[in-house]
């Protein structure tokens, strides 16, 4: 049966290429985005895919739950969840506002957890699930936690969420949770000096989501290889 994918922040950057990659591979894709009109406009660039725009802001829990409930009622349960959306505040320790810290934690940690809570029962029922959290080398202890504070600590917390959920699901057959670092990618967030294209940034996520056997679980993955937390 055709598998269904939900991608947050699917309207641009790496998220858009993740949507395109799964659509090309024959999956049904729900493209989560804040602005439905923008989603419908960019969707036109995906030729022949089974893609549906789902209006969803990640700013509050009930809004996420309501949007997901409406979407799954129409398009069915989610087999692959990609928590891709991200916000980058570049302020340092002395300047960062608690509003920016909250918003990084909401988008990178709380919204992914809310979505995981919503999709897990269906995944358990169907005996299949892939959860992919888009992290960053800036959230890696092994790489020195060098990013700006709100971004770095929230991506580190997202990695902690990945490992924690993977541990809890250890007994569950065929549901995996992994973090991905896309590398430095040319997007609105990554800027124009970045060496990787959005399609290259999306590659590991689509690869992980479409793997049938021997899927990693509870790992941090970059360029299809495990890296240290
Ligand atoms: N680019 C890089 O070099 C790089 C490196 C490491 C990790 N990453 C990670 O990769 C992911 C994608 O990054 P990108 O470079 O593609 O970024 P991007 O082009 O800036 O896109 C960010 C996406 O997140 C969405 N978003 C932000 N806040 C949201 C909210 N409150 N509710 C719903 N959607 C929200 C944006 O929606 P709107 O269009 O509505 O704003 C947009 O679709 C992020 O998690 C990022 O941290 C990127």
Domain range summary for the chain, segments of one domain joined by +: 8-227
CA distance 16 to 45: 10
* pLDDT beyond 90 at 217: yes
pLDDT in tens, 53-108: 999 999 999 999 999 999 999 999 999 999 999 999 999 999 999 999 999 999 99
| Atom in ligand 1 nearest the alpha carbon of residue 106 | 31
Contacts 24+ apart (CB under 8 A), 99-105: 100/150, 101/149, 101/150, 101/153, 101/154, 103/59, 103/150, 104/150, 104/151, 104/153, 104/154, 105/150, 105/154, 105/157
pLDDT of residue 214: 82
Mean pLDDT in residue range 12-32:
97
Class of domain 8-227 as given by CATH: alpha beta
Mean pLDDT in residue range 118-127:
96
CA distance 166 to 145: 22
pLDDT of residue 211: 93
* pLDDT beyond 90 at 136: yes
Pocket test for ligand 1, best of 6, 14, 35, 114 (most atoms within 8 A of CB): 14
The torsion angles phi and psi of 28, rounded to 5 degrees, stand at: -85, 125
Taking the centre of ligand 1 as the mean of its atom positions, its distance from the CA of residue 148, in whole angstroms, is 15
pLDDT of residue 1: 79
How many other CB atoms are there within 10 angstroms of residue 77's CB atom?
Answer: 16
CA distance 229 to 218: 11
CA-proximal residue: ligand 1, atom 30 (nearest): 58
pLDDT of residue 138: 97
- What residues are labeled active site? 151
pLDDT in tens, 171-194: 777 999 999 999 999 999 999 999
pLDDT of residue 78: 98
Which residues approach ligand 1 with their CB closer than 6 A? 8-9, 11-15, 34-35, 57-59, 84-87, 107, 134, 136, 182, 184-185, 187-190, 194
Taking the centre of ligand 1 as the mean of its atom positions, its distance from the CA of residue 91, in whole angstroms, is 17
Are 156 and 141 spatial neighbours (Cβ–Cβ below 8 Å)? yes
In this structure, what token pair is assigned to residue 205?
A: 């996520």
pLDDT of residue 212: 82
pLDDT of residue 151: 98
Pocket test for ligand 1, best of 32, 86, 109, 188 (most atoms within 8 A of CB): 86
Are 162 and 177 spatial neighbours (Cβ–Cβ below 8 Å)? yes
Taking the centre of ligand 1 as the mean of its atom positions, its distance from the CA of residue 173, in whole angstroms, is 31
Mean pLDDT in residue range 122-133:
96
């Amino acid at each position: 049966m055709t598998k269904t994918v939900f991608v947050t922040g699917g309207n641009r950057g790496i998220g858009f290429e993740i949507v395109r990659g799964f659509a090309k591979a024959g999956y049904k894709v729900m493209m989560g985005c804040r602005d439905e009109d923008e989603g419908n406009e960019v969707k036109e660039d995906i030729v022949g895919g089974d893609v549906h725009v789902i209006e969803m802001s990640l700013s509050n829990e009930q809004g996420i739950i309501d949007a997901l409930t409406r979407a799954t009622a129409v398009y069915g349960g989610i087999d692959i969840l990609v928590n891709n959306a991200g916000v980058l505040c570049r302020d340092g320790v002395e300047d960062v506002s608690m509003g920016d810290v909250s918003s990084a934690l909401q988008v990178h940690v709380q919204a992914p957890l809310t979505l995981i809570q919503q999709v897990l029962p269906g995944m358990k029922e169907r005996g299949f699930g892939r959860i992919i959290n888009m992290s960053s080398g800036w959230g890696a202890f092994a790489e020195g936690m060098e990013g700006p504070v709100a971004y770095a600590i929230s991506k580190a917390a997202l990695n902690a969420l990945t490992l924690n959920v993977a541990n809890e699901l250890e007994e569950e057959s065929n549901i995996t949770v992994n973090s991905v670092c896309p590398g430095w990618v040319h997007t609105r967030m990554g800027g124009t000096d970045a060496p990787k294209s959005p399609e290259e940034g999306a590659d590991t996520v689509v690869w992980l989501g479409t793997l049938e056997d021997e899927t990693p679980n509870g790992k941090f993955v970059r360029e299809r290889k495990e890296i240290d937390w």
